[in-house]
Amino acid sequence: MTHGDQLEFTDVYDAFVEKFKPKKTTDDCYTPDNVYNAICHYVCARFAYSQEAVVRPFWPGGNYERMHYPSGCLVLDNPPFSIFSKIVRFYCNNNIKFFIFGPGLTIFGGGDNRASYIVTGTAITYQNGANVMTGFVHNLDHEIYVEACPELRNIIKKENDKNLKKQKKQVRKLSLPNEIITAANLQYMATHNTPFRVMKKDAVFVRKLDNLPSGIFGGGLFLNDRAAADRAAADRILLSNREIELQKFINRG
């Protein structure tokens, strides 16, 4: 089997497997704990609720319409966005107090003037990696219809930035040798005006290396010696003149 045949077989197999994977939507956007806890603290402090009164009816397989809501409880959760307006109407119709997440750019789609709408102008990176502009809808204030809330934005952004920082640190820990090139490497070259090509006869697609604890995100090409050397040379071109001089100084040591 040639390298080209191997790549073609891999593409066909991946497409076959992909059909059986559950599709991720905004309904699968589960909130990181630190972001949720910060929002919960803000809401309970602002509207004078105990955190013990908070209930979360939205989980895989849960049924928010059949759930028992204790007297004096507050629904504070991230519901499926696909039935967002239905959920808002249900809580308003049943006089159940709620403060729920909603799609930031279409937050008024809740479509019920018994509710209040909060626009934060910030996104949350959810546990499945989706980065979604997020707003909120509630029935805890009968006078405010809509508001822009910088205070809540700053709270969310602070916690979300913590999570993004952790993710970046995890990515940096994965150091790949010159024999591997990924789409991310090529994107960086393209955006830094560095042309680079890999011939089919010089590479084969791989998903992981034996000495790496995890796979290569998105897979990569395993290069032969000649292509690996070309890749190393291209990486050197990406260095600034100052960085090249610094490298020469270090090499002398």
Q: Tens of pLDDT along 26-67?
A: 456 789 999 999 999 999 999 999 999 999 999 888 899 999
Q: Is the pLDDT of residue 15 over 70?
A: no
Domain shared by 199 and 104, yes or no: no
Task: Say if 19 falls within a structural domain.
Answer: no
Task: Say if 15 falls within a structural domain.
Answer: no
User: Which of 169, 189, 221 represents a domain boundary (last residue)?
Assistant: 169
Domain shared by 130 and 211, yes or no: no
Could you tell me if 122 and 132 are in contact, meaning their C-beta atoms sit under 8 angstroms apart? no
Could you tell me if 138 and 178 are in contact, meaning their C-beta atoms sit under 8 angstroms apart? no
Task: Say if 4 falls within a structural domain.
Answer: no
Q: What percent of the chain has pLDDT over 70?
A: 83
User: Which of 122, 150, 169 represents a domain boundary (last residue)?
Assistant: 169
Domain shared by 161 and 144, yes or no: yes
Q: Is the pLDDT of residue 22 over 70?
A: no
Domain shared by 41 and 137, yes or no: yes
Sign of CA dihedral 91, 147, 121, 48: negative
What pLDDT, in 10s, does the model give residues 217-249?
Answer: 788 899 999 998 988 888 777 677 777 777 677
Domain shared by 121 and 186, yes or no: no
Domain shared by 149 and 192, yes or no: no
Task: Say if 12 falls within a structural domain.
Answer: no
Domains of the chain: total: 2
pTM of the predicted protein model:
0.60
Task: Say if 72 falls within a structural domain.
Answer: yes
Domain shared by 190 and 114, yes or no: no
- For residue 165 the two structure tokens come to 């920082």
Task: Say if 230 falls within a structural domain.
Answer: yes
What pLDDT, in 10s, does the model give residues 86-125?
Answer: 999 999 999 999 999 999 988 887 678 899 999 999 999 9
Domain shared by 119 and 218, yes or no: no
Q: Please name the residues in contact with 117: beta carbons below 8 A apart, sequence gap of 6 or more.
A: 102, 107, 108, 110, 135, 136, 137, 145, 146, 147
Task: Say if 17 falls within a structural domain.
Answer: no
Mean pLDDT of 138-162: 95
Domain shared by 181 and 159, yes or no: no
Domain shared by 160 and 36, yes or no: yes
Q: How many CB atoms lie within 10 A of CB 95?
A: 9
User: Residue 213's domain spans which residues?
Assistant: 174-252
Task: Say if 135 falls within a structural domain.
Answer: yes
User: Which of 136, 169, 202 represents a domain boundary (last residue)?
Assistant: 169
Alpha-carbon separation of residue 176 from 78, 141, 184 (angstroms): 37, 54, 12
Mean pLDDT of 58-77: 94
Domain shared by 146 and 243, yes or no: no
Domain shared by 76 and 185, yes or no: no
